[in-house]
Structure 1
Amino acid sequence: MPKIAIIISSTRETRFADKPTEWFARFAKGRTDLDFEVVDLRDFPLPFFNEVASNAYVPSQNEVAQRWQQKVAEFDGYVIITAEYNRGPTAVLKNALDYSYVEWNRKPVAFVGYGSVGAARAIEQLRLIAVELQMAPIRTGVHIQGADFFAVWQQGKDLNELTHLEPGVQAMLEELAWWTKALKTARDSTTATTPLPT
């Protein structure tokens, strides 16, 4: 069964990310055609990128980087749970994306964003980064925004009460499943001796 990582991309002690991660994972793990695993960037304390080059060209020397690359390589697709900091993604997420290259190639990625605008601007940047990493970003995203976000963050509302968000989640999961299977079939039919150009 194809494996999908749900990546928590905030490492702050006071992060909000755990709530949307748990909420989204409930829907994701209800599927029988994909196997989901939560991957927390807190478990991979990567230093700021300081390698000779991308691992597309030179193997990384840092032990945490090697462990991170091995983890990324386990999956056939990704869902990134993301905040938005000053109109962009978190620095720790950008750093983690940069620490891997070949492991991301030819795989789909989807986004669940949260914040006043549902991390829409951060996700736009992440889509561009994903293309450069030779990934396939999924069109449909999930945005927990505006009154919904503030109701959960400040007023104690449960995300499970926001049932109007569920059709978007299901639509995104359907797209993710299609792209995951299509790209996995294509990767499996391509020999290891035909790497992507970098």
Structure 2
Amino acid sequence: MARKPKIALIIGSTRPTRFADIPANWLAAQAAAREDLDLEIVDLRDYPMPFFDEVASNAWAPTQNEVAVKWQKKIAEFDGYVFVVAEYNRSITGALKNALDQAYVEWGRKPMGLIAYGSVGGARAAEHLRLIAVELQMVPVRAGVHIGMGDFFKVHPGFGGSGNLADIEASISGPTTAMLDDVVWWANATIAAKA
């Protein structure tokens, strides 16, 4: 029997008041109920990298910063990625963009999915992330999970919400299953192709 793909759930915000932990923990529980993948939460807070200041991408020159090297080694462990994406001014967070820039070879030929939140469900940040992923030679999957502002306010504790994504499962459970199905399918396909 083939091994299960190992998927990183990357939390793309580092703000002290971030909402990202709520969807990350909910999505991790959804993944844990499946038997076709192993998922691990990877938090950018654990990798306090400087703004990218290397001579070049690690595709062209060895990275010098030891935290960035630790980050590269961590993301290299995975067969695919799911990003928790906050929309900041119609794009992804600066912390996530910096983390993406700190590696290159580790991302390549692996699928990526996302759970996004913010204005219009984080759709504009999701599209930016997908474009960046293409340049990094990832395989962005079509299905994505989008938490729109109405659902966001219903759940976000800072706005009087419940703090429980189960309150909006009717909106996001179908897209979550589709996205995880896509990530697993592409992870298995790219694992086989690389072999």
For residue 28 of structure 1, report the CA deviation from its aligned partner.
Answer: 1.0
4+ long deviations beyond 4 Å: none
For residue 155 of structure 1, report the CA deviation from its aligned partner.
Answer: 2.7
Given the alignment, which residue of 155, 158, 161 partners 2:160? Answer: 155
Decide whether the 8 Å contact of 1:76 with 1:180 is kept in 2: yes
Instruction: Give the corresponding residue for 2:180.
Output: 173
Name structure 2 gaps, 5 residues minimum. none
For residue 156 of structure 1, report the CA deviation from its aligned partner.
Answer: 2.1
1:183 and 2:190 are equivalent in the alignment: yes
Structure 1 residue matching 2:24: 3-state secondary structure: helix
**Partner amino acid for 2:110?**
K
**Partner amino acid for 1:163?**
E
For residue 118 of structure 1, report the CA deviation from its aligned partner.
Answer: 1.4
- CA deviations on 1:99-137 (whole Å, 9 max, x unpaired) are 100000000000100113211101101111000000100
- CA deviations on 1:125-172 (whole Å, 9 max, x unpaired) are 111100000010010000011211111112322211212121111111
1:66 and 2:66 are equivalent in the alignment: no
Instruction: Give the corresponding residue for 2:136.
Output: 133
Name structure 1 gaps, 5 residues minimum. 189-198
Please tell me the root mean square deviation across aligned C-alpha atoms, in Å. 0.8
Structure 2 residue matching 1:172: 3-state secondary structure: helix
Instruction: Give the corresponding residue for 1:57.
Output: 60
**Partner amino acid for 1:27?**
Q
Q: Identity across aligned pairs (percent)?
A: 59
Decide whether the 8 Å contact of 2:87 with 2:117 is kept in 1: yes
CA distance in 2 between counterparts of 1:116 and 1:127 reads 17
Decide whether the 8 Å contact of 1:23 with 1:159 is kept in 2: yes
Decide whether the 8 Å contact of 1:116 with 1:149 is kept in 2: no
CA distance in 2 between counterparts of 1:176 and 1:22 reads 18
Structure 1 residue matching 2:40: 3-state secondary structure: strand
Instruction: Give the corresponding residue for 2:37.
Output: 34
Instruction: Give the corresponding residue for 2:7.
Output: 4
More helix, by proportion: 2
**Partner amino acid for 1:177?**
V
